[in-house]
Amino acid sequence: MSVARITAAASPLFAQLTLSGDKSVSIRRALLSLYTPDTIRLTNFGAGEDCETALRCLVSLGKRVERGEVFVTIKHRETVRKATLDCRNSGTTARLLMGVLAGRDGEWTLEGDESLSNRPMERVAQPLRTMGAQIELSPGGVLPARLIGRPLVGTDHNLTLSSAQVKSALLLAGLSANGATRVREPFPSRDHTERLLGLAQDADGWWSVDKSNVPDATLVLRGTIPGDISSAAFWAVAASLVTGSDIELKNVVLNPTRTSWIRSLKNSGADIVERVERTTAGEPAGSLHFKYGVLRPLRITTQDVPGLIDEIPALAVLAATIDGESIFENVGELRLKESDRLQAIVEGLAEMGADVSVTGQNLHVTGGKKRKGVKISPNHDHRIAMAFALAGLVAEGVTTIEQAECAAVSYPGFFADLKKMAENSVTLSE
């Protein structure tokens, strides 16, 4: 187990960074290779453990994967009709594979690590069953799951909860279903799958897909995968925490369904310059430039949440430094992530001295008080570990992050990049 010890930054943070490929985009592009026997080459594929998990599942499903410094090459090796797929900690991989495999001839078992095996899967399995999928979950509606691929029928799904993973699983299942599959959600969630499939939303908010939408993967998977926008959020927060900081990121995903956190920070007065410079791999991409500034309290609405659920731990840490009360509405979904993130945020910030509470599904953080360094045990949750490492940059004393290696789930180089910016504030040890 590695440990990171963080002390208050004595000087501004300066950096120009290029991040590895976006996790959500990388996993979706990898799984799309299952719809073609052709050789696929992905550029700037994500470096995190979740992305590696998706590639390992492809190998179990008959692909040959060759990973180089720049490219990941995926080739057809053999046709597999029965496999056990270890999704480890990757909820995206598990849920999207349910959709991919539901209509694929064969018998499949999906399993995961202890954390993933406690996350809800019925929200995906139930609508897939209405299409004819045969899915058996473990007691409590969790993994391991057993699927027997069978013919599917296109169905309408009017979702009550906005979830990109559920939506994507249904759309991917629709590629092998007879007839049209339509999906609608109450608020927009990330639309990477829709972009890959070339879908357009109709006037009533429905996304529609059928067998004719199976794309030519050799064409749609071209282009460099832009950097991870959720990883970028940590550096926006870091720049906003430490006086005088100036951090620039190049070639980042700037998909509007992923930039709610940028809009929220700008609404609070953050100095952020966002430049869309190109479209690559079907995604708008460009640069982000963050500078320190004094912020007003954050107000995250219910409609914002689907687009920034992964960034809330970092935003909550920032809110604890802003004078006044920040409100995060309807964030109960945080309890169902890799850990109970809502509990982790509340307990961690309270221990550091912040005024934090939960009313119903809403998180309230009031800043302005001095914060002290504490020991954080993130329960192997990468986003909690990274968020509280940033909190340590503006706390009195030492903030100790146990299980620091868990950052590798999404951002293996996080602590190394942080140490480059704040060398005297970061100590890493095994």
Are the C-beta atoms of residues 189 and 303 closer than 8 Å to each other? no
Q: What is the pLDDT of residues 102-156, one digit of tens each?
A: 999 999 999 999 999 999 999 999 999 999 999 999 999 999 999 999 999 999 9
Amino acid at position 314, single letter: A
Indicate the pLDDT class of residue 368, thresholds 50, 70 and 90. Answer: confident
Which pLDDT score is estimated for 69?
A: 83
Catalytic residue chosen out of the listed positions 310, 323, 355, 381: 310
Q: What is the pLDDT of residues 283-322, one digit of tens each?
A: 999 999 999 999 999 999 999 999 999 999 999 999 999 9
Amino acid at position 254, single letter: L
Catalytic annotation present for 310: yes
Question: Measured between alpha carbons, how far is 67 from 262 in angstroms, rounded to an integer?
Answer: 33
Look up the pTM and report it. 0.96
Domains and CATH numbers, the chain: 3-21+226-429 (3.65.10.10), 23-220 (3.65.10.10)
Amino acid at position 89, single letter: N
Q: What is the pLDDT of residues 159-209, one digit of tens each?
A: 999 999 999 999 999 999 999 999 999 999 999 999 999 999 999 999 999
Which pLDDT score is estimated for 194?
A: 97
Are the C-beta atoms of residues 306 and 187 closer than 8 Å to each other? yes
Residue 403 has pLDDT above 90, yes or no: yes
Q: What is the pLDDT of residues 230-281, one digit of tens each?
A: 999 999 999 999 999 999 999 999 999 999 999 999 999 999 999 999 998 7
Which pLDDT score is estimated for 222?
A: 85
Question: Measured between alpha carbons, how far is 382 from 402 in angstroms, rounded to an integer?
Answer: 11
Which pLDDT score is estimated for 430?
A: 85
- What sign results for the dihedral spanned by CA atoms 379, 382, 384, 387? positive
- What sign results for the dihedral spanned by CA atoms 405, 407, 408, 409? positive
Task: Please classify residue 429 by burial: count the beta carbons closer than 10 Å to its beta carbon, then call 0-12 exposed, 13-18 middle and 19+ buried.
Answer: exposed
Amino acid at position 307, single letter: G
